Amino acid sequence: MTSKRIVLGIEYNGSLFSGYQLQSQGTRTVQGALGQALSKVANEPVRLTCAGRTDTGVHATGQVVHFDTSVHRQLKAWMLGGNTNLPRDISIHWAREVSDDFSARFSAISRSYRYILFNRKTRSAVFQHNVSWSYDLLDEKKMHAAAQALRGKHDFSAFRSSKCQAKHAVREMQSITIKRAGDYVILDLKANAFLHHMVRNIMGTLMVIGRGEQPVEWMQKVLSGLDRKKAGMTAQAAGLYLINVEYPAEYGLPISGWLPIIN
């Protein structure tokens, strides 16, 4: 039987997951839950490849996965049947058939993340698992100015986790902005790829500048120093969302995600 390659756009609330990647038995992961749901639709095991693995507590509105199957199902069956078998904190929102040269991971030309920080003296009881929180008032204008040092192609070793398995730390930051919307400080980033904890480490470093503990120029010094120990803390996972993965137009895929909470 001829195998088909199916690609899905998915979203999930990462609060109760131990990250995306399948782990030891008994650990709740996005890949595990999604694989089980799709396997029920296919009546055979389904093996998934994703655009980017997210950590414990990190969310996604625009994750992309693909899998190969010889089972014939209508595209809507993968979406509707998958959602029927998924827990409420994961949802499939589109399905497409693609050529077998497509890879959710390696065909991607950019990935976009949004980090949402609740900046008020008291924490939010309602959004505690969906945004991070800082009680120190942050100067978002200084944070935005500092962030511009990261635009372009650089070695991002200063923002790389010690557990990062990437072969090198060179990435191209295509855009990065910081803005305020009421009590929310929002970081938007787009790059060809990201390192482990890269976004959270950038945000942690920008918060140091936002609190006035370091000048705007400090970001360039941290970047050039290539030393993770000289950068800021790793910001909380709860505020981070994978919001979009972009692919070449030839694959005809929709925009994978949407912007969470605040536009």
Kindly indicate the confidence band of residue 164, based on its pLDDT and cuts at 50, 70 and 90: confident
Lowest mean pLDDT, pick from 6-10, 73-77, 243-247, 256-260: 256-260
Beta-bridge mates of residue 68: 5
Assess whether pLDDT exceeds 70 at residue 183. yes
Kindly indicate the confidence band of residue 5, based on its pLDDT and cuts at 50, 70 and 90: very high
Is 33:90 a contact under the CB 8 Å cutoff? yes
The torsion angles phi and psi of 227, rounded to 5 degrees, stand at: -120, 110
- Given 55, 100, 155, 188, the catalytic residue: 55
Assess whether pLDDT exceeds 70 at residue 153. yes
Kindly indicate the confidence band of residue 263, based on its pLDDT and cuts at 50, 70 and 90: low
pLDDT at 23: 83
Assess whether pLDDT exceeds 90 at residue 236. yes
Is 93:46 a contact under the CB 8 Å cutoff? no
Beta-bridge mates of residue 61: none
How large is the average pLDDT for residues 24-30? 86
The torsion angles phi and psi of 52, rounded to 5 degrees, stand at: -160, 125
pLDDT at 2: 82
Whether 55 sits among the annotated catalytic residues: the reply is yes
* CB neighbour burial string for 64-81, b if at least 16 within 10 angstroms, e if fewer: bbbbebeeebeeeebbeb
How large is the average pLDDT for residues 74-95? 96
Kindly indicate the confidence band of residue 261, based on its pLDDT and cuts at 50, 70 and 90: low
Domains located in the chain, CATH noted: 4-107 (3.30.70.580), 110-242 (3.30.70.660)
pTM for this prediction: 0.94
How large is the average pLDDT for residues 191-198? 96
